[in-house]
Amino acid sequence: MRYERSSALFAQAKKVIPGGVNSPVRAFKAVGGTPIFIKEAKGAYLFDEDDHRYIDFISSWGPLILGHCYKPVVEAVQKQADKGTSYGIPTALESKIAELATSMAPNIDKIRFVNSGTEACMSAVRLARGYTSREKIIKFSGCYHGHSDAFLIQAGSGAVTFGSPNSPGVTQGTAKDTLLANYNDIDNVTQLFEANEGEIAGVIIEPVAGNMGCVPPEPGFLEGLRYLCDQNNTLLIFDEVMTGFRLAAGGAQQLLGVDADIVTFGKVIGGGLPVGAFAAREEIMDFLAPEGPVYQAGTLSGNPLAMAAGLAMLTALDNQPEVFDSLADKTAYLHEGMNNILSKSRIGYQINRLGSMISLHFTDTVVKDFTSAAKGNNKRFTKYFHGMLKRGVYLPPSAFESYFLNDTISYKDIDTTLQAFSETLKEL
């Protein structure tokens, strides 16, 4: 494939945007080459500026669960845009989507909308600290909760892609209040609680990790976290920015049967527009301003365009619960096909999957945490990524990211993807 237009646009962008991109993974530094620039998308497909078509396996990193340009979402945004794009004043839309979201997700009474997943996680930790009057938090190596200072410590995803899990600009004072644990290692978490008795405000985790590839929790791990938090009067925070309203109507809490104290959302809840949210039981949420002492604010929070898009998306998912089984079935079909092809090769591999999240790791080691995920053969992944790209399949341009299917991807599309997969593996 020729990428003349994308190459020219990238050269132009680098003159005015750091690295030529507004989010680092888009730069293709982990896989080399020139990033493609997208002109439009429809359903399961992306179309770049050089008029190539791709089957899309990132779905804007998760939110487009019903495909690109899903008509009810587009119409809702168009209708709202005719009435105004931003007011900085309350609207009825905010209450409508809040009522729907809290009815779909378990164990939450109230929700506060913000503008990104980063902002949601940052606010959730501040709320946990304010509610408990404690300062320390536990996070897990390889889990990414946005680029707030407290989280950029072995953060996974983009940070790990560049080999710099600790970002300059994060102060030692901030870092000392973030305790690092190993994902899927409850003994390690227990040790941290014992060493910091009475000091831990919250434990924040991706209940299904998506920033070291897809890494599901092992049986008993989340239940163990729930027990430790209960025993230590610590709040358990689920970062469901990826998993919320994607793995099930009630997200990972519902699918895995473990309740968190605070839940953060993003992606799907905005129907593709920039949005985030955090939610909890009433007694916790009432610690937020203007009712409580924990301050959090934002002019564009509850933006009517994002609320309209999110309401249309959640309404569709609430009315079509079968979509979650459909997505899981398609992802299982992809998994089976990839496994059948790889099993006939001499390539070491692991495939992780849960619901509509899946990832391929080029390693012989079971991938259950950041350390095992980092053992993958990144040179092989680079060849794999570009081999699939030239055959019209767009995958995450990083070995540390999950794929996200959307329900407009057909079984024919998956068969086409598996054919491309088979051809690509012969080149590795």
> Does 310 have pLDDT greater than 90?
yes
> Does 143 have pLDDT greater than 70?
yes
Q: Residue 83 in contact with residue 294, Cβ under 8 Å?
A: no
Beta strand extents in 43-188 (DSSP E only):
45-48, 53-56, 110-114, 136-140, 178-181
> Does 156 have pLDDT greater than 60?
no
Question: What class, spelled out in words, does domain 71-319 have in CATH?
Answer: alpha beta
* pLDDT at residue 166 in the model: 56
Could you tell me the residue ranges of all domains in the chain? 4-69+321-425, 71-319
* pLDDT at residue 154 in the model: 54
Q: State pTM to two decimals.
A: 0.94
Q: Which residue has the higher pLDDT, 27 or 54?
A: 54
Query: What is the greatest pairwise CA distance in the chain?
Result: 61
Average confidence (pLDDT) over 91-95 = 97
Selecting among 139, 267, 330, 368, the annotated active-site residue is 267
The verdict on whether 144 is a catalytic residue reads: yes
| Residue in 411, 383, 407 with CA at minimum distance from that of residue 395 | 383
| Residue in 165, 194, 217, 219 with CA at minimum distance from that of residue 357 | 217
Question: What class, spelled out in words, does domain 4-69+321-425 have in CATH?
Answer: alpha beta
> Does 235 have pLDDT greater than 60?
yes
The verdict on whether 330 is a catalytic residue reads: no
Task: Measure CA of the first residue to CA of the last residue in the chain; give whole Å.
Answer: 19
Selecting among 3, 54, 131, 144, the annotated active-site residue is 144
pLDDT per residue as tens digits for the range 323-367: 999 999 999 999 999 999 999 999 999 999 999 999 999 999 999
Neighbours of 297 (CB within 10 A): 10
* pLDDT at residue 1 in the model: 81
| Residue in 255, 306, 253, 247 with CA at minimum distance from that of residue 276 | 306
The verdict on whether 259 is a catalytic residue reads: no
* pLDDT at residue 24 in the model: 86
Average confidence (pLDDT) over 150-155 = 65
Structure tokens at 109: 């009474």
Average confidence (pLDDT) over 42-62 = 97
Selecting among 56, 185, 239, 261, the annotated active-site residue is 239
* pLDDT at residue 147 in the model: 81
* pLDDT at residue 2 in the model: 87
* pLDDT at residue 153 in the model: 67
Q: What percent of the chain has pLDDT over 70?
A: 96
Q: Which residue has the higher pLDDT, 365 or 154?
A: 365
CA distance 62 to 406: 8
> Does 163 have pLDDT greater than 70?
no
* pLDDT at residue 335 in the model: 98
* pLDDT at residue 158 in the model: 43
| Exposed e or buried b per residue across 98-134, where buried means at least 16 C-beta atoms within 10 angstroms of its C-beta | bebbeebbbbbebbbbbbbbbbbbbbbbbbbbbbbeb
pLDDT band at 318 (very low <50, low <70, confident <90, very high): very high
Q: In what order do the strands lie in the sheet with 38-42?
A: 38-42, 45-48, 53-56, 393-394
> Does 301 have pLDDT greater than 90?
yes
Q: Residue 110 in contact with residue 279, Cβ under 8 Å?
A: yes
CA distance 414 to 333: 8
